[in-house]
Amino acid sequence: MSGCIFCRISRGEIPSRKVYEDDEILAFHDLNPQRPVHFLIIPKRHISTLYDVSADDQELLGRMLTRAAEMARSQGLDDGFRTIVNTGRVGGQEVYHLHIHIMGGADSVGPMVSALK
Ligand code: AMP
Ligand code: ZN
């Protein structure tokens, strides 16, 4: 996925403010933070959405979640944080490279979802 913006970030072609990196995972601050701390955890390998994961991805997805808390603590989130994965059109996904949002840094992140109008 040469044109995918998050693939380009994981290859270092587009700069990012890194939170964590290993062979398979990258985490970086969101360009347009919705809370005082807002970063994204991505697999380096391109996976478009949660619809596209398979049993082969279990270990990778597990690694992303099992490292989330230590990444959050490294950013000062010691009293909780919100974890969001948007999927597809209805889920409001804008970038079609799987990512986990981690948000916090305020006294409360706020309600889980706003009321439907
Ligand atoms: P989603 O709506 O779940 O697909 O979220 C995509 C997120 O990617 C948004 O919060 C954007 O602000 C963020 N984003 C888009 N481009 C960049 C970039 N170059 N660096 C960091 N975050 C980005
Ligand atoms: Zn990608």
Pocket test for ligand 1, best of 8, 9, 32 (most atoms within 8 A of CB): 32
Q: 64 CB contacts (<8 Å, ≥6 apart)?
A: 25, 41, 43, 100
User: Helix or strand or coil: residue 71?
Assistant: helix
Indicate whether 11 pLDDT > 80: yes
Q: Does domain 5-104 have CATH number 3.30.428.10?
A: yes
Return the pLDDT at 1.
76
Q: Does the predicted TM-score (pTM) go above 0.95?
A: yes
Structure confidence by residue, pLDDT tens digits, 46-91: 999 999 999 999 999 999 999 999 999 999 999 999 999 999 999 9
Question: Domain limits of the chain?
Answer: 5-104
Indicate whether 117 pLDDT > 90: no
Q: What is the overall mean pLDDT for the chain? A: 97
Residue 86 alpha carbon, nearest atom of ligand 1: 3
